[in-house]
Amino acid sequence: MRIASWNVNSVGARLPKLLDWLGTAEPDVLCLQELKCAEDAFPYDEVGELGYEVAAHGTGRWNGVAVLSKVGIDDVRRGLLDEPGFMADGAMFEAQEPRAIGATCGGVRVWSVYVPNGREVGHPHYAYKLRWLDALRATAAEELAELPFAVLGDFNIAPTDADVWDIAEFAGCTHVTEDERKALTALTEVGLTEVHPRPLKYDVAFTYWDYRALRFPNNQGMRIDLVYGNDRFSGAVTDAYVDRNARKGKGTSDHAPVVVDVDLP
């Protein structure tokens, strides 16, 4: 089974790229993040023509996640256990955001997650990010059972200093702080391990490159799109890589897909 994850940075803007990639890479399951569309605006018909069922979780302009599957979708769950909300600028109350969706596809339990960015250390969004990661850990702990289980998505955290192109450029910034990395370690404490993609062109398999300053052609990126699985999932992995080619050219997302092949009984 081939399971992938991709922050598409707007499924509407990236639809031709998405359809082309689905036809080429042929994942059995694809976890999408940053849809930037409501559930009823998702291009169900277009991906359906390629054989995919869809479970989407989105409310409009920002955020949004989905699971696409050729092997069935069951037990869909939108949102995390006790998921916190965030009070956006000018809002009167705290609201949950569409950042997580779980589904069982072909006997594998997958979660597509879009972890809050955090904005800057000390910002309320940074505290929200840490609370949200606590809810993700609690959800994983609740759902870990006999099924192969994986959490895939844009974590907005680089696990180590080597996972950014120049750690000096990130001094005092989010994505590399000790508290964020502790939140990743907490996932391992409930029984998940990270699936590391093998490097292809470069020593580190970056997954994100800013659109500005020629970051992509200079490979000045970050590895923030991650995969965590339980023993039944991680032990079945036969290959894992970042499809850097999907980041090339005009009109692409600023992220590349992470692809994991598993050999399950």
Give yes or no: 175 in active site: no
Kindly report the average pLDDT of the chain as a whole number.
96
Instruction: Choose, from 28, 52, 57, 114, the residue flagged as catalytic.
Output: 114
Query: Which pLDDT score, from 0 to 100, does residue 265 have?
Result: 83
Cα separation values, 171 from 116, 133, 155, 176, 220, Å: 19, 22, 19, 8, 16
Q: For residues 254 and 36, is the Cβ–Cβ distance under 8 A? A: no
Instruction: Choose, from 154, 163, 225, 243, the residue flagged as catalytic.
Output: 154
Name the CA radius of gyration of the chain, rounded: 17
Q: How far apart are CA 100 and CA 139, in angstroms?
A: 11
Composition of the chain by helix, strand, coil, percent to 5 = 25, 25, 50
Query: Which pLDDT score, from 0 to 100, does residue 93 have?
Result: 80
Query: Which pLDDT score, from 0 to 100, does residue 88 have?
Result: 80
33 contact partners, CB below 8 Å, separation of at least 6:
5, 6, 7, 8, 64, 65, 112, 113, 114, 153, 154
Q: How many other C-beta atoms can be found within 10 angstroms of the C-beta atom of residue 44?
A: 16
SS3 category, 20: helix
Binding-site sequence positions for Mg(2+): 7, 34, 154, 156, 254-255
Binding-site sequence positions: 7, 34, 154, 156, 254-255
Q: How far apart are CA 265 and CA 257, in angstroms?
A: 25
Residue 221: half-sphere exposure toward Cβ, Cα within 13 Å? 22
| 10-residue stretch averages of pLDDT, the chain, 265 residues long | 98 98 98 98 98 96 95 98 88 88 98 97 96 98 92 98 96 97 97 94 93 95 98 97 96 98 94
User: Domains of the chain (ranges plus CATH)?
Assistant: 2-262 (3.60.10.10)
Sheet holding 108-114, edge to edge: 74-78, 100-105, 108-114, 149-154, 225-229, 193-194
Query: Which pLDDT score, from 0 to 100, does residue 193 have?
Result: 97
Give yes or no: 114 in active site: yes
Query: Which pLDDT score, from 0 to 100, does residue 145 have?
Result: 78
